[in-house]
Each structure stands twice: as C-alpha cells, then as structure tokens.
Amino acid sequence: MPPLAFPFFLLLISLSASSSEAGSIGINYGRVANDLPTPAKVVELLKTQGLNRVKLYDTEATVLSAFANSGIKVVVAMPNELLSNAAADKSFTDAWVQANISKYYPATQIEAIAVGNEVLKPSLWATVFVDPNNTTKFLVPAMKNVHASLAKQNLHTAIKVSSPLALSALQSSFPASSGSFKAELVEPVIKPLLEFLRQTGSYLMLNAYPFFAYAANADKISLDYALFKENAGVVDSGNGLKYSNLLDAQIDAVFAAMSALQYDDVGVAVSETGWPSVGDSNEVGASPENAASYNGNLVKRVLSGSGTPLKPNASLDVFLFALFNENQKTGPTSERNYGLFYPSEKKVYDIPLTAEEVNASSSTPSAVQKSQVPVSGGEASTTSSSGQTWCVASGGYSEEKLKDALDYACGEGGADCTPIQPGATCYNPNTLEAHASYAFNSYYQKKARASGTCNFGGAAYVVTQPPSKFLSKV
Ligand SMILES: *[C@@H]1O[C@H](CO)[C@@H](O)[C@H](O)[C@H]1NC(C)=O
Ligand SMILES: *[C@@H]1O[C@H](CO)[C@@H](O)[C@H](O)[C@H]1NC(C)=O
Ligand SMILES: *[C@@H]1O[C@H](CO)[C@@H](O)[C@H](O)[C@H]1NC(C)=O
Ligand SMILES: *[C@@H]1O[C@H](CO)[C@@H](O)[C@H](O)[C@H]1NC(C)=O
Ligand SMILES: *[C@@H]1O[C@H](CO)[C@@H](O)[C@H](O)[C@H]1NC(C)=O
C-alpha cells in the first residue's frame, strides 16, 4: 500500500472544496434479479448506510410503499414502453400520475420522475442512431403530458420531470470543450428537451460511465485518471482547463454541448455512474479494487462540494449504479456486477458513503486506500507474433447471447460497425453470425489483438485464417 499518495490526494480535494456547496450521493435500486431482499429490508439497508436518495426504474407498488415515511427521497421512472401512450393522451398521464405518484406522495418523498431511460441511445448493432420504435418523437410530448398531469394536482413544483440521456447522445466529447450533441438529434429532440427543462425549472439527467471509455481505450486513457487517483491530469486543448478525472470531463462535454445550444442555465445531475467489480476477460479494468476506487473516490469528490472545471460552482448530484448485483441482466458479465452489495446485503467492497465516513477515512486507512493496487489481468500482452490472427463468432452460441455481445461490440466497445449496416459493403451475408464476426474482429484488431479481447463471454474465438472465409459463407 503506498503510504503517502492517498492522503495527498485527499488534501487536494479538501483544499478545492471551500467555495461551493457539497453535492449529494444517491443510489440506483435496480431490480432485474430474482434473489433480492424485500423492499422493506432494502429501505433498512439504505438507512444503515446513510443513503437518503434512491432512484428506481419503475413505480412498483410494494417498493413505493416501503419508502413511505423513510426520509429517503425517491426518483421514479416511467418505462420506455409507456412513452407512446403518455405522449398521445393526457388522460393516460392523468391516470398514471394518480395511480403511480399521487397515491404515494407525500408519504413517499418522490422528488423526480425519469420519463424513459436512455431513449436516445443507439440500439442493437448500430453506431449510427436508429429508432425502430419511433420512441424519440414521443419523449418530449410524454414529458410535457406528465408535467401537465402533475400540475393538475399541484405537484409540478415539488416533483421534477426529466429523462436520463446516455453519453452516446453526444457526437463529440473530447476534448470536453468541443462537446456537441449528435446533429440528427438536436432539432427533433435535444432542443425541445432542454427548452422543457428550462421552462419547468428541471435539470438534465445524465448516465455517464468512464469505465466504458477506459475499457475501449485502455491504451490511451490513464487508469488513475479514470479512477480519480492522483495523476498528471488532462488539459483541454480548447480552453486550457485542466481535468483531474474522466467523469468531470464527460460531464463538461455535456455542459459544452448544452452551452453550444444556449442552454447554459440548465443543470445536470448524474443519474447513473459506476464501475463493475467483475467483467469478461475483454472488459479491461473490471475488478473489485478498481470498482472500490472509482466509487469510493467519486463519493469523496462529490461530497467535497466542488463542481466541474467548466462549472466550478455547480454542486454535483450523483446516483451510483448500483445498489445490488443484478443476476438477471443480460449482456457481458460486467452488467451483472455493478452492485455495491450482494443480494445477501453483504458488501462487495467497502467504501465510505457519507460525509462522516469520508471524514473518518481521511484519518484512518480505508478499503479504498488498500485497494490502490495496479489493475491485474488488464494489460494483456499481444498474441503470438507469428502471423496475423482474426476474431470470429462461435457457431452454435445462443442467438440472444450473440446479439448482446454484438450490441456491446458496436456500442460501448467502439467497434466499427458502419460496414454491416443495411446497404453498406459488408451487410451481406445478412446473418447474425456474420455481422457478429465482423464486429468482433473489428474490436479485436482495434485492440491490437491483445489477449482477452476476442472472447465476448465465450461468444468469439481467434482464428488464423482470413475472416472472409467465414464471412462469405452463406
Ligand atoms: C402505473 O405504472 C405502471 C408501470 O409504470 C403501469 O403499468 C400502470 O398502468 C400505471 N397505472 C396507470 C393507471 O396508468
Ligand atoms: C421495440 O418495441 C418492441 C415491443 O415493445 C420491443 O420488444 C423492442 O425491444 C423495441 N426495440 C427497441 C430497439 O427498443
Ligand atoms: C415510425 O415512423 C415512420 C414514419 O413516420 C413510420 O413509417 C413507421 O411505420 C413507424 N414505425 C413504428 C414502429 O411505429
Ligand atoms: C463561482 O462563485 C464565486 C464566488 O461566488 C464567483 O466569484 C465566481 O465568479 C463563480 N464562478 C463561476 C464560473 O461562476
Ligand atoms: C468533515 O470535516 C470537515 C472539516 O474538518 C467539517 O467541517 C465537517 O463538518 C465534517 N463533516 C461531517 C459530516 O462530519
């Protein structure tokens, strides 16, 4: 354990903390699992941890009832599937607000409604934005109707209406000062969304994961920078501001994108951020040590009260992702391992969650401090230098798993999937296996064929013959 590095890092934080109000820490209570404690037990767990803000992904009755009179503030959600109904019909949102909000408020302190989740995220194996269900055009009309229904009950000032955006809504995020939204989203949805947030005194919700950026560019991004550890920092070539961590830079990219549209006055809350404690072999950086560092240092950074370099006076409200490991989530292994707690309520790792604990951990060695060890297994050596290798999809792998892996490769993994879009050069043969092979290989080559980067949870393997042989097979 390095004895000096960590206290020095804390000192830097406390020196910069004096000018603005502290932000707050909340946690996402996802329930895509079949082994979680009862909602009543979850409320007790949050209380014992000193967590007083929680975000849900629906308005489930037993959960909302359990939070009644708990002193815990709750963000609820309207699922994506309801957006078209909510946009079409005020009587639908009237009934929804009545049955799902008014019924529980104010005993349950609902503070905001997330209308939809990552509606603007490119889905399936597209790097370009596609919207097969036309959800995008329903988003802002649905938010307006929910707000109008709240207003009928005079709940519209107490309960904010927003919608979490994924960072992928940005066209450009590096350097942060060049942040801009995807051009095709600006007029149809981003401007109306920001205008709605301004008019209603609400704020933008942002889901931001430095882990994805790091895992896809581990050769370029410093792990210490991603984990809020002491590092040289990154100077923004656009405005000269210096960033000490990647999350600040991601948030400021969104602020810059909003500023470019003249919405400087709208605030941002981080509705999800986290780091997985376990991942597949190609998910570079996933480990309990790194997850503890990321989340523990994030809590310290948020509770210290400083804003981001672009908005130093804006306090940061952050919802960690997530409370529990969720065993029924699909996708790569990391998806099931973001929790701070196991379903047994045992901690996956120990980090401070309150200002008191942060203060205490600054004078005594903490788990975060102990966890300052270099990432293991991440920096893989390249495969045998004898000849070229390629990565292809395993035959006979379940369609669902293959789709998830493809989704990951083309999305967060950053593979170039433009050639397998309809009409593009490598669209044919139009089979899942061929598209997956193309994407896996793109990712693998991009990673310089590092060992572990052709795995995708077992859905891929390395071959020593050119992939055209596989890809042209019908
Ligand atoms: C309450 O919300 C749930 C899910 O969010 C939805 O299925 C249900 O229809 C809503 N109730 C009403 C009356 O709209
Ligand atoms: C479109 O809607 C259908 C039916 O609700 C759903 O199964 C499917 O996953 C949606 N597709 C996308 C890309 O969201
Ligand atoms: C989406 O909108 C387009 C154009 O308005 C329409 O042709 C298409 O049928 C719609 N798709 C769905 C699933 O509603
Ligand atoms: C932050 O607040 C301080 C003190 O109120 C003020 O002097 C400074 O100009 C503010 N900075 C920004 C970027 O708004
Ligand atoms: C943490 O320590 C600071 C500085 O010593 C003090 O001002 C603050 O009140 C403490 N906060 C808590 C919650 O103990």
Q: Would you state the pLDDT for residue 455?
A: 76
Q: Which residue's CA is minimally distant from atom 8 of ligand 1?
A: 96
CA of 256 to the centre of ligand 3 (A): 33
Q: What are the tens digits of pLDDT across the range 46-95?
A: 999 999 999 999 999 999 999 999 999 999 999 999 999 999 999 999 99
Give every CB contact of residue 134 below 8 A, 6+ residues apart in sequence. 84
Ligand at shortest distance from the CA of 56: 1
CA of 357 to the centre of ligand 5 (A): 10
State whether the beta carbon of 356 lies less than 6 angstroms from ligand 5: yes
Q: What are the tens digits of pLDDT across the range 106-139?
A: 999 999 999 999 998 765 444 455 676 778 999 9
Query: ω before 2 within 30° of 0 (cis)?
Result: no
pTM assigned to the model: 0.75
Measured at the CA of 340, the angle between CA 216 and CA 218, to 5 degrees, comes to: 15
Q: What are the tens digits of pLDDT across the range 398-444?
A: 777 788 888 888 887 888 888 888 877 787 788 888 888 888 888 88
Q: Which residue's CA is minimally distant from atom 3 of ligand 5?
A: 359
State whether the beta carbon of 130 lies less than 6 angstroms from ligand 3: no
Ligand at shortest distance from the CA of 78: 1
Q: Which residue's CA is minimally distant from atom 12 of ligand 1?
A: 96
- Cα 92 → chain centroid: 30
Match domain 5-370 to its CATH number in 1.10.540.10, 3.90.1170.50, 3.40.50.1000, 3.20.20.80: 3.20.20.80
Q: What are the tens digits of pLDDT across the range 321-358?
A: 999 999 999 999 999 999 999 999 999 999 999 999 99
The CA radius of gyration of the chain, in Å to the nearest whole number, is 22
Where along the chain do the CATH 3.20.20.80 domains lie?
A: 5-370
Give every CB contact of residue 7 below 8 A, 6+ residues apart in sequence. 362
Q: Which residue's CA is minimally distant from atom 14 of ligand 5?
A: 356
State whether the beta carbon of 61 lies less than 6 angstroms from ligand 1: no
- The set of catalytic residues is 118, 272
In contact, 352 and 51? CB cutoff 8 Å:
no
Give the residue-averaged pLDDT of 252-273: 98
